[in-house]
Amino acid sequence: MLPGIVLAAGDSRRMGYPKALLTDPHGRSFVARILTTLAAAGLTDLVVVTGRDHDAVCEAVAVGAVPVAPLVVRNPDPSRGQLSSLWVGMDAVRTRSAPGLLATLVDVPLVDASTVRTLLGVWDRTRAPVVRPARGHRHGHPVIFDRAVFEELRRAPIDAGAKAVLQAHAAEVVDVPVEDEGCLVDIDTPEQYGRLGMGS
């Protein structure tokens, strides 16, 4: 089974509050919800990458009744960009021995475990360099990277992020059609959070 990395190191400037600590209508933090989803899909090697809110995220994970205890690691300088957090996560899961990795964002909390299982199955059959969910022409999270692109991820320009790898392998990326709208829902602002009836 692949390791799973949850990227939660952003400053949440537009939200004005750490997105990892936002709660769903059941009172569960976004970070605990995502970890529970990944565990339900069968992932057991989980890593959360934090930033300035490291201690608060650790607490949210501890009280979140997550069925698989993740490793929580801190990006010492998340201002470098999202790719730097992925590097920190890759180091934490010792990716030299992993056949691939699954990465997702803490601000995409509504993805369903069935979508994650579907992505894992497609990657296992195809070993494509990148596997991601899609609805129509829109693609979402999580994203699976095969180990074949690990070194490219580590060499990618930090300002371009993982998009550089996606562009380099555009013809080989497997977009997996799913019915799960949650894989596309990125919650970045209080308005988006409110429209979804979250935290009520």
What string of pLDDT tens digits covers the 200 residues of the chain? 799 999 999 888 889 899 999 999 889 999 999 999 999 999 999 999 999 999 999 999 999 989 999 999 999 999 999 999 999 999 998 656 899 999 999 999 999 999 999 999 999 999 999 999 999 999 999 999 999 999 999 999 998 889 999 999 999 999 999 999 999 999 999 998 988 777 54
Q: What is the pLDDT of residue 95?
A: 57
Outline where DSSP puts E strands in 38-173.
46-50, 71-74, 100-105, 130-135, 138-139, 143-146
Q: What is the pLDDT of residue 197?
A: 75
Q: What is the pLDDT of residue 199?
A: 53
Domain architecture of the chain: domains with CATH: 4-195 (3.90.550.10)
Q: Who contacts 60 (Cβ-Cβ below 8 Å, separation ≥6)?
A: 20, 21, 29, 31, 32
Q: What is the pLDDT of residue 145?
A: 97
What is the C-alpha to C-alpha distance for residues 188 and 74, in angstroms, rounded to an integer?
21
Q: Who contacts 145 (Cβ-Cβ below 8 Å, separation ≥6)?
A: 100, 101, 102, 103, 129, 130, 153, 162, 165
Q: Are 20 and 53 in contact (CB under 8 A)?
A: yes
Which DSSP helix (H) or strand (E) runs through 61? helix 54-62
